[in-house]
Structure 1
Amino acid sequence: MVNVSQPALSMQIKELEAILGTTLVERSPRDLRLTREGRSVLDRANRILAEAMELEADARNARGLGELNIGMIPTVAPYLLPGTLAALRAADITRDLRLREAQTADLLDGLREGRLDAVIIADPAPAPDLIAQPLFTDHFVLAGSRSRLNALSTSPEALRPVGLPPDQLLLLDEGHCLADQALEVCALDRRQTRLDLGASSLSTLCGLVAQGFGLTFLPEIALATETRGSPSLALRRFDAPEPARQITLVRRAGTAQAGWCSELAGHIEQAAALLVAQAAKIAPPA
């Protein structure tokens, strides 16, 4: 939303084209499309807007207002948020925290556009405009019904991801990085899995596999939450080397290394350490 009427916006674009001496938009009776020059201007405008928002955030932090806009992926947020938020509130009760839970691509867009100050994601690809700070390693555990896991014990490859029967593997909907990571460690593509459920949460998958509908991957940090009140859900550790994902705090390269960044990283690491310790009791390492 730009809070400008369509005729006024069209006039402003034409005025900008006149100032720049180039056409920014291709106009037809049924469609509008950016020209090559228009795309270049849009990219630069987005960078300028991000810098302006970052300048505002830096000034706000300097005044001690301490507003933070943080994003987390859905397979991390429900498990890390409670402990992290409690620690942040205890450290500064006046801090204004705004949190967004979304998939990786959306979070990185929000970060680059200046709407988010930092995001917590898994295994980010290197990017020159971003700085990634590794936080902790989150191992995967195999989850399913007891009978289904017991049936796997007859195979010598049962406790290795590549040895799992692909027709029994249930995954999150496309777009979730955890699903992509599970497929990668199993050397599979989605077409080889038995059922595409469109599930958007680990809780949904856990409910299904506990009733014998298949097998799924659970990250260690989710074990305490997802096994609570679910006695029919069984777990099995993989043989070494255990498959895992790297949870990382990502910020823009232009963001000053302010105290809030290291503070946030420290609180997340502490919350994760507690969850991993609980996971070791629920599903002891082999």
Structure 2
Amino acid sequence: MNLRDLKYFVALADTRHFGKAAERSFVSQPTLSAQIKKLENYLGVQLIERQPRKVTLTETGMKILPVARRILQESEEIVSLARHEHDPLAGKLKIALIPTIGPYLLPLITRKLRKQLPRLKLMLYEYQTNPLLDRLRDGEIELGILALPVPHDGLETRPLYEEPFTVAVPNQHALAKRNNVKLDDLTGENLLLLEDGHCLRDQALDVCSKIDVKESEDYRATSLETLRQMVAAGLGITLLPELATRGPFGSGHGLTVKSFARPVPTRTVGAVWRKSSARSAAIDAVCEIIRTTMQE
């Protein structure tokens, strides 16, 4: 058994297709199939159920898969540690951000990251919280930027900044004339939220849990931009993170954004990475740039 065979097995488990797994692994399909069979013979168990146009894992294969991922992840950590020992701020760093942070934070930090970390090549991705954490644990990414807290078994977390919530209301709404809004002012309002899977949905529900606010059952948005359009159309009100209301994302186009009166509800935006990561120096450098930028 070798790492190459485990890579073939993981690729096949991910794609559930011999052709696609071979393409991902840069080998021919017969070669990949033969190596998987060789691995099964070595282990003395069947890992794959081969059916026409369909590949499924056996029960044993399902048990072995997370162990194989972990072995591959640790082997990549060894290579990464050796490669970056002399220049820890060089090479690729795979970073994922959740959709309610990425589009609004990246414009503020990208230029600084390039200037202060010129040898670090950032590979940027966008995932919702749970898929992000899954990919982090599987070694597909090295750093996540999301809202804390999150389940952090095997992971390290670091708070980076506190982000206030704001209220977005239609232009003709009574609250649009206020200088600021108290949480109690939202009592009885129709609250528009993102669909399940977005942590911002849970955060907004938590903020509003102490008042009698009605969640709209008829409309759920797939993004903040859709949510904005729904407010502008007069379907209800919503909570938006402050970064998502700056510049062109602020008041206008049918809606008005209002700040909360004190105490202002906030969310904690932070970083998460594997405890075993060999990229701690690069991760620390990126986190520090984000932290200082958000303090300016």
Measured against the shorter chain, the TM-score band is: 0.7 to 0.9
Asked if the contact 1:67/1:97 (under 8 Å) is kept, the reply is yes
Asked if the contact 2:169/2:176 (under 8 Å) is kept, the reply is no
1:38 shift after superposition: 1.4
Evaluate the alpha carbon distance shift between residue 112 and residue 162 of structure 1 in structure 2; reply closer, same or farther with a 3 A threshold.
farther
| Correspondence for 2:135 | 110
> Which letter does structure 2 place at the counterpart of 1:59?
A
For normalisation by structure 1, the TM-score amounts to 0.79
Alignment partner of 1:134 is 2:151: no
Asked if the contact 2:176/2:258 (under 8 Å) is kept, the reply is no
1:108 shift after superposition: 1.8
| Correspondence for 1:119 | 144
How many equivalent residue pairs? 266
CA distance in 1 between partners of 2:176 and 2:254 (Å): 15
1:94 shift after superposition: 3.0
Evaluate the alpha carbon distance shift between residue 132 and residue 161 of structure 1 in structure 2; reply closer, same or farther with a 3 A threshold.
farther
Structure 1 residue matching 2:91: 3-state secondary structure: coil
1:23 counterpart (46, 49, 65): 46
1:91 shift after superposition: 1.1
Write out aligned runs for 1:115-264 (5 A). 115-150=140-175, 159-160=182-183, 163-165=186-188, 168-187=190-209, 192-200=215-223, 202-228=224-250, 230=252, 232-256=254-278, 258-264=280-286
| Correspondence for 2:14 | none
Evaluate the alpha carbon distance shift between residue 161 and residue 44 of structure 1 in structure 2; reply closer, same or farther with a 3 A threshold.
farther
RMSD of aligned alpha carbons? 3.0
Structure 1 residue matching 2:161: 3-state secondary structure: strand
> Which letter does structure 1 place at the counterpart of 2:70?
R
Structure 1 residue matching 2:84: 3-state secondary structure: helix
Alignment partner of 1:58 is 2:81: yes
Evaluate the alpha carbon distance shift between residue 192 and residue 231 of structure 1 in structure 2; reply closer, same or farther with a 3 A threshold.
closer
**More deviation, 106-115/41-50:** 106-115
1:152 shift after superposition: 10
1:209 shift after superposition: 1.6
Structure 2 residue matching 1:41: 3-state secondary structure: helix
> Which letter does structure 2 place at the counterpart of 1:76?
I
Evaluate the alpha carbon distance shift between residue 23 and residue 147 of structure 1 in structure 2; reply closer, same or farther with a 3 A threshold.
same
CA distance in 1 between partners of 2:288 and 2:242 (Å): 19
For normalisation by structure 2, the TM-score amounts to 0.77
| Correspondence for 2:15 | none
Q: Which runs of 5+ in 2 are unaligned?
A: 1-23
1:251 shift after superposition: 0.6
| Correspondence for 2:118 | 93
| Identity rate, percent | 38
Asked if the contact 1:144/1:215 (under 8 Å) is kept, the reply is yes
Between Structure 1 and Structure 2, the one with more strand by share is 2
Asked if the contact 1:161/1:185 (under 8 Å) is kept, the reply is no
